[in-house]
Amino acid sequence: MRKQFMIIILVLICVISANAQKFITKTGHIKFYSDAPLEKIEAHNRQVNSALDLSTGGFVFKVLMKSFEFQKALMQEHFNENYVESDKFPSATFVGTLTNYKDVNPAKEGTYNANVEGKLTLHGITRDIKEKGTFEVKQGKLFGTAKFNLLVADYNITIPGNVGKNISKTIEVTVNITLDKADK
Amino acid sequence: MKTWVKIVLGLIVIGIIALFLVYKFVYNKQHPDYENIEASYTLNAQDLYQAYRSDRDAASAKYNGKMIALTGNLSKIEAADSLVTAVFVFSQGDFGDEGIRCTMLPKFNTEAGKLQPDGEVKVKGYCTGFNETDVILEKCSIINQ
């Protein structure tokens, strides 16, 4: 009986410590930016789900495409209806790993490099990506930032010739997340 | 002035007016007036959440991209940066509270901030979908009872 009790306590300690390593947000920010000869376009999504498990390095993002907001209503319509086809592919996901997760110490304030790799699914196409960013640990939170480029052609997104000078073939993606402890 | 000159000048003026109208009403048209768009669906908050939980594809086809009016018991108000979000919580998961998150139009931020948890509220917003944990409504307004 005493042995069983000790096992339960040990399991609980493991679960609690695992939870203590999990950080989440539901209000992450992702910006798309296109710099084409005739027009600069940006879109913002401030409803991004993200979770990072510092005990395994597991790192995920879930992004609803209809939550991207453009300055011009017409561009937002074209983005949803013609380019990312958000009725057919309502979300983009990233499932991967913070490969250097052991370097990030959430108990020690400072700025840490973040090496992230995994599978990005956008417009129904899944591709391996490998990007770098940073995490700043401050007041128990993890402030993550990253900036990288995506080729629209890699995700079967076709830019019609008549707007070829309005939309860049390379989209700059900026990620800003503030991750809180999941057990908070 | 010769007739052909008048015709050419007239065509140029019509062309300029047409270009201006295309720029103003097509290329540079305004975003919808979300506050005053009529809701496509009116339902209980928990029913909307359960619709996505039980059949995400069917609910996405029906509700994504639609203006929805919801009635439900408010769980909490969250404020981050300039965003104020009314949250209806219906379950718990890896991300903590799960339910419906309604991000307010800026003009409703103050009014939303005064809403009391556990009180019944009616909000209207543009549904962008279900992200595995929550149904997301954006550009929300508070509907006066």
Clarify whether residues B10 and B73 are in a common domain.
Answer: no
Chain A interface with B: residues with Cβ < 8 Å:
22, 24, 26-27, 46-47, 49, 51, 62-64, 66-67, 72-74, 76, 80, 86-87, 90-91, 182, 184
Q: Which two tokens stand for residue B141?
A: 């307004």
pLDDT of residue A13: 44
- pLDDT tens digits, one per residue of B78-126: 998 788 999 999 999 878 899 999 999 999 999 998 888 988 999 999 9
Q: Within a domain: residue A16? A: no
Q: How many CA atoms lie within 13 A of B44 on its CB side?
A: 5
ipTM for the complex?
0.84
Q: How many folded domains does chain A comprise? A: 1
Clarify whether residues B38 and B25 are in a common domain.
Answer: no
Distance from CA of B95 to the nearest CA of A (A): 6
Residue A153 makes CB contacts below 8 A (sequence gap 6+) with A169
Q: Within a domain: residue A2? A: no
pLDDT of residue A184: 52
Q: Within a domain: residue A33? A: yes
- pLDDT tens digits, one per residue of B4-20: 899 999 999 999 999 88
- pLDDT tens digits, one per residue of A93-114: 999 999 999 999 999 999 999 9
Interface touch B94/A87, C-beta < 8 Å: no
Q: Provide the terminal-to-terminal Cα distance of chain A, rounded to the nearest Å.
A: 33
Interface touch B31/A22, C-beta < 8 Å: no
Which residues form the domain of B21?
Answer: 1-30
For residues A174 and B97, what is the distance between their CA atoms, to the nearest angstrom? 27
pLDDT of residue A106: 94
Clarify whether residues B137 and B66 are in a common domain.
Answer: yes
Interface touch A64/B32, C-beta < 8 Å: no
Q: Residue B52 sits in a domain of what CATH number?
A: 2.40.50.140
Q: Which helix (H) or strand (E) element contains residue B61?
A: helix B56-63
For residues A127 and B71, what is the distance between their CA atoms, to the nearest angstrom? 41
- pLDDT tens digits, one per residue of B19-41: 888 887 777 788 899 999 999 99
pLDDT of residue A12: 39
Residues of chain A with confidence (pLDDT) below 50: 1, 5, 7-17
Q: Residue A156 sits in a domain of what CATH number?
A: 2.40.128.110
Q: How many folded domains does chain B comprise? A: 2
Clarify whether residues B99 and B127 are in a common domain.
Answer: yes
Kindly identify which residue of chain A lies nearest to residue B28, measuring between CA atoms. A72
Which residues form the domain of A58?
Answer: 21-181
Clarify whether residues B102 and B123 are in a common domain.
Answer: yes
Residue pair A152/A171 in contact by the 8 Å Cβ criterion: yes
Query: Would an 8 Å CB–CB cutoff place B106 in contact with chain A?
Result: no
Clarify whether residues B38 and B26 are in a common domain.
Answer: no
Clarify whether residues B55 and B20 are in a common domain.
Answer: no
pLDDT of residue A3: 55
Clarify whether residues B8 and B42 are in a common domain.
Answer: no
* 3-class DSSP state of B145: coil
Residues from chain B contacting residue A27 (CB–CB below 8 Å): 78, 80, 83, 85
Interface touch B129/A90, C-beta < 8 Å: yes
Q: Within a domain: residue A104? A: yes
Clarify whether residues B66 and B120 are in a common domain.
Answer: yes
Interface touch A62/B132, C-beta < 8 Å: yes
Query: Would an 8 Å CB–CB cutoff place B29 in contact with chain A?
Result: yes
Q: Within a domain: residue A8? A: no
CA A102 remoteness from chain centre = 20
pLDDT of residue A15: 41
* Chain B interface disruption, residue of A39, A53, A64, most B CBs within 10 A: A64
- pLDDT tens digits, one per residue of B62-83: 999 999 999 999 999 999 878 8
